[in-house]
Chain A
């Protein structure tokens, strides 16, 4: 295997990882864009999404051989998981964040951390702490292209992620509700004066972000397995991706995620440091970006606009 195909391989792996980070980063960034608040329970919603997806998939597909039916079952499980997580996201917002909207800025943050513990400990209580495997809904025979190996599940991850992001971009940019969302993120009070139902927009933001997290959780579980604390590190990485891209910026989250994924895969071998330190590379880049361009790659400095 020559160096070129070796690096091509890293990039393929990095893009797969990055697509998942992007999906999850979107939830952080959308909520931040509107409420200026980091929803630390977001990572655990992706865990709930993964567990829901796994249970529904197992219920539907059982021990069936991989084929058209299992693939269909996978997408049905995904839709159910998205719906459930959307409801959960809205519910959490109503119960744990909304009453604190006018409180000290630290209060909802702490509340979010509390929700995160409730979700992950609850899952540990119900499901136990051992990891579970998400079976592939198709024959996962690797495809060899030159020196580069790609597996069908990697293709699935990237395609589903792209579809989700295109849908989201369409919704935010082309629909009335999306316009309301953009307006709310610019200025909540003015939007309310203009007749936008801000509470509804916020609920919708949580619903969409959580549904995307559910998809991210299910896609991540092929590689990461399903277990109660799976959201912690993945959520943290996705948060970093959102910051790299420019928190509050939707395109930024997409780009930041993919960039972080590639960086994780390529960084350590490129710098000739042990792979055990790959996370160090990713977080070092975060620090550099915060120092050089604190608003992130695509971030806008909102104060300038006023």
Chain B
């Protein structure tokens, strides 16, 4: 509660500050304004608060070190409450009224999809620290110069599905897979991504089954999968459904199971600890332990009363630093020049390791592979697909 109040207060002050400065250019000329859109109140506020905290931390650090090209950075955070409507309202204020240089966010997929479209039209850089849906960076380039303005510092779901397909096909040697996925953006996106890539490699999806989030009984689907006799079953679902599927799968002698980053929540071992042995899943790559990451985590803890930064906050921190470096190189707050420099980011040393953007604005990243032994996920390494081959990068 105190934190929320504090953040609201900061928000209020920053807005008041903007208004006090008026819209006159002279008052703002020594400041680069950066917008942030994310849920700061409501059920999912924790994600937005951590991301904006991390962004503010990055900005304070840059300003303390002399700012960017002699000017200071200023963060203007808008609350999306995780909804499209509020995110668009916040976007319009930031872009048309506050005249920000670029936007960090939105945090969730649906608002990110909506804002990405507008950012393309208005030619302003948007960097999302957390929206993973593949379509976020697949916006039509409906602006005058046909350039991409949408970036993200989180790996796309499409990338995860691609690495998963190659790993299952080339490393594990599976040729016949079944899928069992929930009908939502996350699960369906991963399952469909896997189905298309795995098939294009020469593999076969012998059974593709669906369920709803909240379902408890998967025996019908598992029986159908069993009768299709796959070599393994891919279950890119959420923890509770995964736990049910593993247990009922064991009862019906269906398996082995392959999964996604949904499996990285340790709760699955509490719910289905007897059935997790042998599961292989694709999850976040573990960046080489760098001092940038540990320094950031320590600074975050110190600045925010011992709160721990999550992976999205880390992405948000990197996003601000990438943006600041781009503004520095551009030498101005011109939105198109800044975009060119963000796109030209090369081997940026961030808290997440070495970062580059693909042509569509996606993060070029590795994916981690984990083999579960008993109830312990064992990290195999991080993998990338290069020239049609799966390659272990560390």
Contacts and interface: CB of A to CB of B under 8 A. Distances in A.
Nearest to B208: A274
Interface string A110-153: 00000000000000000000110100000010101000010100
Contact of A275 (B216, B220, B240): B220
Contact of B216 (A10, A149, A224, A277): A224
Contact of B220 (A10, A140, A144, A223): A10
A276 B216 contact: no
A269 B218 CA distance: 13
A15 to B, nearest CB: 11
A133 B219 CA distance: 18
B252 interface: yes
A142 B229 CA distance: 19
B251 A133 contact: no
A269 B183 contact: no
Interface string B190-227: 00000000000000000001111010110111011011
B271 A131 contact: yes
Interface string B221-257: 1011011010000000000100110001011110000
A162 to B, nearest CB: 20
B182 A276 contact: yes
B267 interface: yes
A233 B223 contact: no
Interface string A250-272: 00000000000000111011000
A2 B270 CA distance: 35
Contacts of A2: 227
A130 B46 CA distance: 18
Which range contains the number of B residues in contact with the other chain? 20 to 34
Contacts of B270: 133
Interface in A10-32: 10, 13, 17
A1 interface: yes
Given A6-B224, A223-B216, A269-B220, A275 B211 contact: yes
B117 to A, nearest CB: 28
Given A275-B209, A276-B182, A13 B220 contact: yes
B227 A1 contact: yes
A140 B272 CA distance: 14
A275 B252 contact: no
Nearest to A9: B223
Interface residues of A, number: 31
B227 A6 contact: yes
Interface string A62-103: 000000000000000000000000000000000000000000
A144 B271 CA distance: 25
A10 B229 CA distance: 17
Contact of B252 (A131, A142, A269, A279): A142
B217 A223 contact: yes
A274 B215 CA distance: 14
Nearest to A273: B210
A279 B211 CA distance: 10
A276 B211 contact: yes
A168 B248 CA distance: 31
Contacts of B219: 9-10, 13, 265
Given A130-B267, A265-B220, A275-B211, A1 B251 contact: no
Nearest to B224: A269
A143 B281 CA distance: 29
Given A130-B267, A131-B271, A225-B240, A278 B253 contact: no
A221 B179 CA distance: 26
A1 B253 contact: no
Contacts of A6: 223-224, 227
Interface string A209-248: 0000000000000011100000001000000000000000
B271 A10 contact: no
Given A274-B210, A275-B211, A276-B210, A17 B217 contact: yes
A284 to B, nearest CB: 15
Given A149-B251, A224-B216, A275 B221 contact: yes
Contacts of A9: 219, 223, 252
By Cβ-Cβ distance, the 10 closest A-B pairs, closest first, are A276-B210, A1-B227, A13-B219, A274-B210, A224-B216, A276-B183, A9-B223, A275-B221, A151-B251, A142-B251
14 contacts: A6-B223, A9-B219, A9-B223, A10-B223, A13-B217, A131-B240, A133-B271, A223-B217, A224-B216, A225-B271, A233-B214, A269-B220, A275-B224, A276-B211
Given A2-B227, A233-B214, 17 more contacts: A1-B226, A1-B227, A9-B223, A10-B220, A13-B220, A13-B223, A142-B250, A144-B253, A223-B244, A225-B240, A265-B217, A266-B220, A268-B220, A275-B221, A275-B224, A278-B220, A279-B212
